[in-house]
Amino acid sequence: MSNRYDNMKYVRCGRSGLLLPQISLGLWQSFGDTYPLQNSRNMLHTAFDLGITHFDIANNYGPPPGAAEKNFGRIYREDFIQHRDELIISTKAGYPMWDGPYGDFGSRKYLVASLDQSLKRTGLDYFDIFYHHRPDPETPLEETMTALDHIVRSGKALYVGISSYNVEQTKAAAAMLKHLGTPCLIHQPVYNMFNRWVEDGLLATLEEEGIGCIPFSTLAQGILSGRYLDGIPADSRIGMGSIFLREDSLQESTLNKVRKLKEIADSRNQTLAQLAITWIRRKPQITTVLMGASKPSQIEEIVASLSHPALTPEELAKIEQILASK
Ligand SMILES: NC(=O)c1ccc[n+]([C@@H]2O[C@H](COP(=O)([O-])OP(=O)(O)OC[C@H]3O[C@@H](n4cnc5c(N)ncnc54)[C@H](OP(=O)(O)O)[C@@H]3O)[C@@H](O)[C@H]2O)c1
């Protein structure tokens, strides 16, 4: 018998029947074709053995787009297929995926076709969660939400979620989905010490609506791990040439804050990455923290933070001061 379920806690996702692990693993940038497949395999095993039962993907994750689903599918078929009923696997559509007018945004045509492609690439029979990846300013929201409802009714996904919808869009989407009989399970917003937009109404809305919250980029893509305090390591996201995180994100004022935050982490015998996760988890609306990783040890480090003490009011006040400083 495995002991993978001994330590991880599982949290109810909003007002649903689904429990998610306190930490989930995202496959955005380091499961594409530029990282060795064996490394991806090791990370998935490390995560699952620590009780991480939720893997988050999207149609466009790579590089190149589609590669994360393809690589995940291969590892899943070789190593995890017998565990299918122990896993929650999500994918999304909403960003550019193929040429022409039907490979982007939020039409029923795009969402249904993209999900069919995701099922082929991964070899899964169904996804547990299917997301609309970002709001579409032109497609009527009714069309997108009706497509999500259709997807669940067709058996291709069990639950649906939305990502990066603002408060008004979230309320409207939640109302439509409720009316259709396919409640919105979960919202996936960016949230970290440098980007706190969710505190301005979104978290309260999710609580009211009974929708779970799975924040992403909680380490600001690695900046809040202190990884860049002494230059750019060759094996880091910036060092590996990511198009989503570049050297110009490393402003001196940002790095100064990171240095000061690290002093608080040191005083708590935590790493800075662990402090950043403890800080996110102070909000009761957070169902699970969606982490990214480029190596198994990072997953072990983040999961270890789950047993660390909560931040004291004094520590929280110090963090506020640092974040407010110039
Ligand atoms: N819905 C959306 O629009 C959206 C957008 C973005 C992401 N996401 C999802 O959210 C997931 C997480 O996003 P993210 O990758 O930006 O998250 P993140 O947790 O902010 O950044 C992950 C990166 O931080 C570094 N890191 C992680 N743990 C570390 C540790 N213990 N010590 C030092 N460095 C550490 C690694 O970078 P190195 O590569 O430098 O080692 C890792 O790749 C994605 O995989 C994806 O599933 C969703």
256-295 tens-digit pLDDT: 999 999 999 999 999 999 999 999 999 999 999 999 999 9
Q: Is there a domain that residue 326 lies in?
A: no
pLDDT digit string, tens, across residues 72-112: 999 999 999 999 999 999 999 999 999 999 999 999 999 99
In a domain, 2, yes or no: no
Domain-located, residue 275: yes
254 domain-assigned: no
pLDDT for 1: 55
- Whether residue 151 lies inside any domain: the answer is yes
Q: Mean pLDDT over residues 32-36, rounded?
A: 95
**Pocket test residue of 39, 43, 217 for ligand 1, highest count of atoms within 8 A of CB:** 217
In-domain check, residue 1? no
Q: Residue 265 domain-assigned? A: no
The per-residue pLDDT for 277 is: 98
Separation CA 124–CA 121 (nearest Å)? 8
Instruction: Give the structural domain span for 214.
Output: 10-249+271-310
CATH of the domain at 219: 3.20.20.100
Return the biggest CA–CA distance within the chain: 54
Average pLDDT over residues 122-145: 98
326: pLDDT confidence band, cut at 50, 70 and 90? confident
Per-residue pLDDT tens over the stretch 232-246: 999 999 999 999 999
User: What's the number of domains the chain is made of?
Assistant: 1
Ligand 1 centroid to residue 267 C-alpha, Å? 25
Beta bridge partners of 188: 163
226 falls within a domain: yes
Given its phi and psi angles, is residue 166 left (phi above 0), alpha (psi -120 to 50 degrees) or beta?
beta
CA of 151 to the centre of ligand 1 (A): 28
Whether the CB-CB separation of 42 and 50 falls below 8 Å is answered with no
User: pTM of the full predicted structure?
Assistant: 0.98
